[in-house]
Structure 1
Amino acid sequence: MKLRDIAHSRTGDKGNISNISLIVYKAEDYQIIKEKVTSEKVKEWFKDIVHGEVIRYELPKLKAFNFVMYNALGGGVTRSLSLDMHGKSLSSALLEMEIDG
């Protein structure tokens, strides 16, 4: 299944750091994402654009995760030549990730 089947996402940015939240629709799916969507897997998923560390923060009371990806936006908004300088489409890209359910 794709992550979009069990979660939604939002993206933010600060300089060259992208921040992606992943929020499950149903509480029972939190554990699946906790096991399957690691920092390492997210870094591998975005290997072409994330050149720094990826840190996953767990928010169990909100049934959500926050992934902070360093050196991910081509230098940041004022330096990037990307069409999506803020990285807003990264949340949609993460939701395309396939996991075993």
Structure 2
Amino acid sequence: RSLGIPCGSMAVCGLNSDELEFEFHNLKATKLVVKKDYPDGTDKIEMDKFKVAFVIFFMATFLAPTCKYNTVNPDFLGSLVNLDEINQYNWSAYVLDHLIQDAARV
């Protein structure tokens, strides 16, 4: 882990097709799921949806934001297809690469 960000052995990958069951095309949709109250708890489907929304929201808002408002960058969505593997991806390298690319643009 680097700064608490997992750095597993698998490279973060984009989405090749319509693989992601819970699609979030914009940050507003992810924010609604992340902020939603679950007074009666969650079932597996709701928990999976929350996990995907949380990773997308956190990456797109804090760790690897895009310059386009309310836009989700699809280059890491392939890493969210199998939720049991999320922590096995090298999110640290992805964030560092994103930071270096953005710094080079400036």
TM surpasses 0.5: no
* Max Rg structure: 2
Higher strand share: 1
TM-score calculated relative to the size of structure 2: 0.27
Structure that is richer in helix per residue: 2
TM-score (norm 1): 0.28
